[in-house]
Amino acid sequence: MAKVLIAGCGDLGAGLATELVAQGHTVTGIRRTKRDFPDGVNGLTGDLVEMGDDMLPDADLIFLIMTPNGRNEASYRAAYFDTAQVLIRRYQSTAKPPTVFFISSTSVYGQSQGEWIDETTLAQPESVTAKVLLETEMALSAALPSVAVRCSGIYGAGRFRLLEKVQSEDSWQANSWTNRIHRDDVVSALVLLAQCALTDKTLPQHVIVTDQTPVSMWEVKLWLATCLGVNVAVNDNTQFVPTSGKRIQGQYLFSQGWVLRYPSYVAGYHALIKAFLSAS
């Protein structure tokens, strides 16, 4: 069994930790402030950047799953690049450096004219936040065995932001392509990647985690508005063909036997809508 460190044991990390503990692995989780961890997890509470090397355990696998405090360069640098530097400092010179899975984002693909994107596509970030993500990916890959796990928009239990926007009946912004992945499918992807690493399979430098169903944002909003019984807030119905965004698909995980629980937003949003209406 392996020693696993989950740096950022929030929603995704806790789901991953639960699965790995059930498989018999020794799991240490780090949370910045909260002290609740899944059963069987060795919990550490504190800011990773402020932790000394002696606080970080030996590890075979590391999952870096951070959440920035804001959507700006400084917040992203603190959450991603600075935490990666701590892991590099602690583990780079160990006898057998651990494999690091850095949970990144498909925002590193700056293409936005409806292009099809896959794992052979060159990352060309446009935003300052996406540039920090790619910089972090590159820093880790230069120092440690690592895989950048590039996730499209994550939705799932408790993530009501889009539902709230649709229910508000505020005017919809310009239409674009959107790509999504359910939180539970992200967890299953990370578990599969752990299994690949522990069985010494050759890992790519990056993988894409998405539900393979790129869709028009207005199509998603129209379906949600219908389910919620609210008005369709469209002022210009000539924009139903997306003029921006990208269409993303991945191959590696499926080549390793990954099976999606929620292969589209329609499958994934039913339970979420029910919970949202119950909480309203």
Tens-place pLDDT, residues 202-254: 999 999 999 999 999 999 999 999 999 999 888 776 677 898 999 999 999 99
| Mean per-residue pLDDT of the chain | 95
pTM exceeding the 0.85 threshold for the entire prediction = yes
Q: What's the alpha-carbon Rg for the chain, to the nearest Å?
A: 19
Query: Could you give the CA distance from residue 147 to residue 150 in angstroms, rounded to a whole number?
Result: 9
Query: Could you give the CA distance from residue 177 to residue 121 in angstroms, rounded to a whole number?
Result: 17
CA atoms within 13 A on the CB side of 26: 7
- Higher model confidence: residue 173 or residue 61? 61
Spell 43-64 as b/e; 16+ CB within 10 A means b.
bbeeebeebeeeebeebbbbbb
- Name residue, tokens 């939705």: 155
| Token code pair at residue 156 | 């799932």
Q: Which range is least confidently modeled, 69-83, 188-202, 227-241?
A: 227-241
Hey, which CATH number is domain 3-157+180-212+247-263, 3.40.50.800, 3.40.630.30, 3.30.420.40, 3.40.50.720?
3.40.50.720
Tell me the per-residue pLDDT of 123-143, one tens digit each, with 9 for 90 and over.
Answer: 999 999 999 999 999 999 999
| Token code pair at residue 33 | 């402030």
Report whether pLDDT(257) > 70: yes
State the pLDDT at residue 237.
66
139 neighbors 85 (Cβ within 8 angstroms):
yes
For the chain, give every domain's residue range: 3-157+180-212+247-263
State the pLDDT at residue 43.
97
Region 65-74: what's the mean pLDDT? 95
